[in-house]
Structure 1
Amino acid sequence: MTLPISKLKIEIDRRQSLPIYLQICDRFRTAIASGHLRPGDRVPALRGLATQLNTARGTVELAYTILVDQGYLQMRGAAGTFVSPSLPASVMQASPGQVLRERQGPLRNEATGTPTTPDASRGAQPATRQLAIAVAMSGEPRPLQPGLPALDAFPSKVWNRLVAQRARSGERAMLAYPDPAGYRPLREHIATYLGLSRGVTCLPEQVFITGGYRATLELVLRSLARPDDRMWFEDPGYLLARGFLAETGVQLVPVPVDGEGIVVERGTQLDPQARFALVTPSHQSPLGHTLSLARRLALLDWAEKASGWIIEDDYDSEFRYAGRPLPALKSLDRRDRVIYCGTFSKVMFPGLRLAYAVVPERAVERVGRVAHSMNAGSPSIWQAAVADFIRQGHFARHLRRMRALYAERRMLIVRALEQAFGERLMVDLPPGGIQFAVRFAEGPGGPADDVAVASRAREAGLGVLPLSIWYANDRTRHTPRGLVMGFANIADAGEAGRLARTLRACLDG
């Protein structure tokens, strides 16, 4: 029997420092744990609960997204949202106190201050990181959203024409199952492009097309990883990759980052026998540093000695505003230990859901076998249209235009931030990319709570993310506090000023 919605009492306390969306999550978890909500029960609609709580619909939507991703709720389209019917008994028997402890995070050893749980490397609250992932992957673009290219400047007419031509062609290959390794002409174009622009010498057979960066990581790990393999992971490191890798069983080894990129020497001290290292050498995510030549050589030397694999995430290196784009780490790889990963999400648009991996020749057969077993080929019509986009010169022209446009737009927001914040915000502008991190200056009461600032910014409709949650342990006193933001979609100085003033208001509370 379904519990009537009217009997569910959700209350929030606006005096608490805990953001409203997390309070909503807590109330639902407590109701489920105490038996007030049972598997299969329908929960209030987004609009109805937002009205009841007198809060923004987006706040409730973010809370529901977190609960769905964690398995507590299920969305069934027009039928509504329900408590998951497959919740384990352990969740149903949890006490409210246990739910509270889960939100507060791992208990700490009073003598050392370190977490007492085995998951000590993951300091951030899972709900906070899950929310950040939901925002970063949101289908509705938000101002200042990291990683989002200029959607207003994409040559949509050209793209639509190419897609329409492919759709009208009647090619049977466009209607059949796609090749799991990728559309052959696109693989050829990618191999040529990488050789010219990134210094990566490869054969089309080494290029595998995937449905996005997550799909690339899944393909690589299913092909090459063993149970309980350990992976060096930049600290701070790419949020979306951290969330996915935590689900795969790979044990992450956080390795600190400084102005020269990942500290390879520290990695060898922490775990010299790790089998993988995931790095963003051209534009470190999120700090923007470039991996120095000495560190690149040291990393390659480690991979050779440990018989390990380096996964190079080259997500937005095409956009560099001082000099030519730097050669990829893969261009220095003489021992065939680097797996190069690229994406069309930043250079074209994320809704395309196309990425690629260049795998070492020794791994082509294994990766190809797994790709066919996954049967995860991307739609041929999109791949063919991208191949046409590259072949006809539109891709190169688009990149040239975007480099000039992004150089202008990033300076618009930098000047606006400096005017709005003054000395309260420190901007260390990287030489490339379509996003950057800023840090809050420490005031008399300590550093600003960037999670709370980002939460207020989301309430205001902005897409910035808190910097601290990109770190493995975001709760220490010395973890930098700030924001990660994109700038590619800022139209003019007026909009930049408005956004900067809105952010300043979010800092002031």
Structure 2
Amino acid sequence: MPPEKSPPQVVFLPLGMPEPGVSLQRWLYEAVRSAILAGRLPAGSKLPSTRALAEHYQLARGTAQAAYQQLFSEGYLETQTGSGTRVCQVLPDATLNAGYVRRKVVAQVEAPRSPPTTPWIERLDAINPVFAQRSVMPGLRPFFPHRGDTQAFPVDLWRKLHIQQLRASRLSILLDSDPGGLPALREAIAGYLAIARGVQVPAERILVLNSVQQGLDLCLRLLAPGDSQVWMEDPGYPGARQLIDVSGVQRVDVPVDGFGIQVEEGVRLAPNARLAYVTPSRQAPLGGELSPARRLALLQWAAQSGSYIFEDDYDSEYRFIAKPIPALRSMPAAEQSVILAGTFSKLLFPSIRLAYLVLPEHLLESFTRAAALMSRHANSLSQAVLADFIHEGHFDRHVRRMRKIYASRAEAFADSAQRHWQGLIEVPEIRAGLDITCNLQVGSEQDAFARLQAASIDVLPLARYCVKPCPPGLVLGFAPYDERAIEDAAKAVAMALR
């Protein structure tokens, strides 16, 4: 019999010398993270304790603890009872790792040649991917946020619509199509927006894309020159913040409260910003709605400064307390300055990769040409199937059904929290969405995150959404999990945090 493989041993890596001006905590964190990404610390590798690490590298133990806590909170390290600290089996930035590791390996094997360097690549490498890339992985555990229940999607009906599109008489759908999107889908989206979001717009003013992220990228490229300022909500969606950073513009972090982005503060910080990224219908991640007064102030600022507003219609459809509020783009003063972005990834399923922009008329041609240059067009077959799905009434029925399911699960989540989390986590009223930002009442955010990870509970710390310090909190999702899973996981959370 072949000898059994021994488990990974505790390792001390040569980490090099810290650069001048870099704190020891930052140096240790970056050195260990780089070793993980480069494969020098493979998955499952056991790391020394903070005491042993501090003694080995002649550091204060508090420095080692702080570096480990940051790596815990970002999903690079995990702890399990009896096995110590180890490198996670699935890293939070698996998608980015492939390119990162490949560049490192090439640089080591072909030392005379260095990889090409551009400002964009430098900015991308400089970004710490704090928003967990595990959001693309299947089989997530409670209470991972920002996900709907794909198990409830009518797959058989979707398959039937696909088969109809693939009849011999319709095979032209397999050819290239209009870069702006299939006319049938644009008409379907226009009809949906008129009813559900209060937006009256001709179908020709809708641009079909792969994602809201692609739409924001187009706005940054076409509307914000390199030295421009761009408003970004703080706390806010990390994917948008990172995209703004790699674009090379100057990001201006504008604080958010229970009534949405603080427009007056944005005007004070950057009155001539070229673009403002906002989530007015349901702020990501705090969940508040942009107040009517601030909506008017935001539109007035855009009109006076000649700027544009990127309205990410985040989680607008799933409201449980009252009817969905109209989009910012529905207001008469918004037609020339607001670019409305929506996606079907949460309404249907993530891999559909279909989204849209509603554009002012004077931007339509330039945006369509740019989209055609960058990606030709979105998947034509998926567009045709989605158009039928909407026109035949299936989309509306699915959204209404899921709204009831998610409302029931939100209630079950709140009930379980009330029973098990007293003095640990404060859960506000859940008015809408697929997740909720909760106040942490015990311990530090990093410690709570590490404890929950060890208990097989997935959450996201609020700090991952913040630039400036924010009160300790956790972002928890409830939508994909049934009542039994919610109750069991709520008990596990209480045991871990107590």
**Normalising TM by the smaller chain, what interval?**
0.7 to 0.9
Kept after mapping to 1: 8 A contact 2:223/2:275? no
Choose from 81, 88, 96 the match for 1:59: 88
Describe the SS at the equivalent of 1:368.
Answer: helix
Alignment match, 1:377: 377
1:205 shift after superposition: 1.5
Alignment match, 1:463: 458
Which stretch shows the higher mean deviation, 167-176 or 200-209? 167-176
Describe the SS at the equivalent of 2:345.
Answer: coil
Describe the SS at the equivalent of 1:62.
Answer: coil
CA distance in 2, matches of 1:12, 1:395: 55
Which stretch shows the higher mean deviation, 311-320 or 223-232? 223-232
Alignment match, 2:50: none
1:471 shift after superposition: 0.9
CA distance in 1, matches of 2:87, 2:153: 27
Identity of aligned residues (%): 36
* Deviation digits for residues 428-482 of structure 1 (CA, Å, limit 9, x no counterpart): 22421111100112x5xxxx322342344344443311012211124xxxx2111
Alignment match, 2:258: 259
1:27 aligns with 2:32: yes
Which stretch shows the higher mean deviation, 304-313 or 253-262? 253-262
Which stretch shows the higher mean deviation, 346-355 or 239-248? 239-248
CA distance in 1, matches of 2:93, 2:388: 40
1:302 aligns with 2:301: yes
Choose from 471, 474, 497 the match for 2:487: 497
Kept after mapping to 2: 8 A contact 1:25/1:67? no
CA 1:405 to 1:271, structure 2 compared with 1: closer, same or farther past 3 Å? same
1:57 shift after superposition: 9.0
Kept after mapping to 2: 8 A contact 1:311/1:340? yes
Alignment match, 2:348: 348
Alignment match, 2:68: none
Kept after mapping to 1: 8 A contact 2:236/2:465? yes
Specify the code of the residue in structure 1 equivalent to 2:342. Answer: G
Specify the code of the residue in structure 2 equivalent to 1:496. Answer: I
CA 1:455 to 1:387, structure 2 compared with 1: closer, same or farther past 3 Å? farther
Q: Structure 2 matches for 1:111-190, cutoff 5 A?
A: 127=128, 130-169=129-168, 171-190=170-189
CA distance in 1, matches of 2:162, 2:86: 36
CA 1:290 to 1:72, structure 2 compared with 1: closer, same or farther past 3 Å? same
* Deviation digits for residues 196-239 of structure 1 (CA, Å, limit 9, x no counterpart): 11111111121111111211212222232211221111111012
* Deviation digits for residues 225-270 of structure 1 (CA, Å, limit 9, x no counterpart): 2112211111110122112221111221111111211111111111
Specify the code of the residue in structure 1 equivalent to 2:403. Answer: R
Alignment match, 1:326: 325
Specify the code of the residue in structure 2 equivalent to 1:62. Answer: L
Alignment match, 1:84: 105
Alignment match, 1:481: 472
Describe the SS at the equivalent of 1:348.
Answer: coil
Runs of 5+ consecutive residues of structure 1 not aligned to the other structure? 1-5, 14-21, 75-81, 93-118, 120-124
CA 1:430 to 1:234, structure 2 compared with 1: closer, same or farther past 3 Å? farther
Describe the SS at the equivalent of 1:473.
Answer: coil
* Deviation digits for residues 343-387 of structure 1 (CA, Å, limit 9, x no counterpart): 001111111111111111111111112112113412111111111
* Deviation digits for residues 63-86 of structure 1 (CA, Å, limit 9, x no counterpart): 6738717x5413xxxxxxx84315
Kept after mapping to 2: 8 A contact 1:135/1:463? no
1:179 shift after superposition: 2.7
Specify the code of the residue in structure 1 equivalent to 2:402. Answer: M
What is the aligned length? Answer: 432
CA 1:142 to 1:370, structure 2 compared with 1: closer, same or farther past 3 Å? same
1:177 shift after superposition: 2.3
